[in-house]
Structure 1
Amino acid sequence: MRVMLADDAVLFREGMARILADVGFTVTGQAGDGTTLRRLVAADPPDVVVLDLRMPPGFSSEGIDTAAAIRATVPGVGLMVLSQYVEAHHALRLMTEFDGGVGYLLKDRVSDLAAFGADVRKVARGETVLDPELVARLVARRRERDPLDALTERERAVLALMAQGLSNAAVATDLHLAVKTVEAHVTSIFTKLGLAQHEREHRRVLAVLTFLRA
């Protein structure tokens, strides 16, 4: 699987390249800014791009802006955005503006080689990956009108894992439940959130979006 990297911190970028190579990826290009990365991707599209959220010149949202530009010109490229801190509004933008094949992880996750490699592969397959710490903080955040109030504690746990990009089978493994039990919880979540079946909408994504906004 071919990967390109973008991070203005050269040491971190080189370390990430070494990690990815160690877990079976081929790093085909590196960049220190979004403009260079876009040029590299246009010339030789990889399977996945791993890029920092904050890059020159403004060190704000250049990573996601660059990801959006890449997705517009090369739709099949997976996009994994790395951040030093949990920033829920950026994660929500990824979920709302991109149709799958995206991830948002804290840079600390890169040190877990197996998990990081697995998450990059998920993004390459078109799945969505969210950092567990981000999900945990969102679960803890409560508002007066929480649309998730109707969910049971178990349904919240299932939805939190769905937000991390886990399949029903993976959720079942994490929660030590039968797959059919998880499927029943997912159906109940859809019902309680008012997500009716619709051929033009993906209820699983809509449920996760409700979770993030809450």
Structure 2
Amino acid sequence: MIAEDSVLLRMGVLRLLADEGIETVAAVDDGDGLLTAVAEHRPDLAIVDVRMPPTFTDEGLRAAVRAREELPGLPVLVLSQYVEERYAVELLAGGAGGVGYLLKERVADVAEFVDAVRRVAAGGTCIDQEVIAQLMARGRRNPIDLLTPREREVLGLMAQGLSNIAIAKSLTVSDGAVEKHVGNIFAKLGLEPSSEEHRRVRAVLTFLDRG
């Protein structure tokens, strides 16, 4: 489902997803509509704008947080012009995964956007690097302080949704080096062995939760 007050953007995203074989069960223009649609359709993913009627401040993000409370595990992909820190952290740290936050002005490739949609719907994460930078700038201490600069760099790329192979290519290092960094990250954050994907999501959420 899509929650976006701009009718042109709302219909544009709907059409784009339809072209990729992704069905939209509801398209609404405010937070109340989002909550109603989630309760009625129990969608596989909610794509949400931050600022919607009536005050155009943070209604969309607050509604998304509430929707995840009412439907635990609901994947949410925020698609916005703004980084709203307070509710962004609450959303990103409030579940086991299935969260994304992309800035509209930085979504330049349709294929990458569709990949983000599918990744978040499947329970993964996809966080814009500018969103990460603004949230990390809050500067509160957390277990991330235990990581080396390279490990934080690797974890930042994990937050963007990159695989180990893609991280190795981005940093121009070997796959083995990345695997070692990822293992160190899990150990320093106290993430006990489970499924690899689940630990990656938990590590990313720790990275984004500054307290």
Identify whether the pair has TM-score above 0.5, normalized to the shorter chain.
yes
Q: How does the TM-score come out when normalised to structure 2?
A: 0.80
Gap change, CA 1:76 and 1:204, over 3 Å in 2: closer
> Any idea what SS the aligned residue of 2:24 has?
strand
Once the two structures are TM-superposed, the CA of residue 180 in structure 1 deviates from its matched residue by 2.6
CA contact (8 A) 1:23 1:114 kept: no
- The correspondence for 1:32, drawn from 26, 29, 33, is 29
- Are residues 1:163 and 2:159 paired? yes
Deviations 1:22-71 (A, max 9, x none): 33322222111121222223222322111111112232322222223322
Query: For 2:13 and 2:164, how far apart are their aligned partners in 1?
Result: 30
What corresponds to 2:173 in structure 1?
A: 177
Deviations 1:97-136 (A, max 9, x none): 1221111111124442111100010111001111122234
Gap change, CA 1:146 and 1:197, over 3 Å in 2: closer
- The correspondence for 1:197, drawn from 189, 192, 197, is 192
CA contact (8 A) 2:47 2:78 kept: yes
- Are residues 1:50 and 2:80 paired? no
Q: How does the TM-score come out when normalised to structure 1?
A: 0.79
CA contact (8 A) 1:163 1:208 kept: yes
- Are residues 1:41 and 2:42 paired? no
Identity of aligned residues (%): 49
Higher strand residue share: 1
CA contact (8 A) 2:143 2:189 kept: no
CA contact (8 A) 1:195 1:207 kept: no
What corresponds to 1:5 in structure 2?
A: 2
- The correspondence for 2:91, drawn from 80, 91, 94, is 94
What corresponds to 2:76 in structure 1?
A: 79
- Are residues 1:132 and 2:129 paired? yes
Give the RMSD, CA atoms, in angstroms.
Answer: 2.9
Gaps of 5+ in 1: none
What corresponds to 1:16 in structure 2?
A: 13
Gaps of 5+ in 2: none
CA contact (8 A) 1:100 1:127 kept: yes
What corresponds to 1:113 in structure 2?
A: 110
State how many pairs are aligned: 207
Query: For 1:98 and 1:144, how far apart are their aligned partners in 2?
Result: 20
Opposite residue 117 of structure 2, the aligned amino acid is V
Query: For 1:109 and 1:16, how far apart are their aligned partners in 2?
Result: 15
CA contact (8 A) 2:126 2:160 kept: yes
What corresponds to 2:183 in structure 1?
A: 187
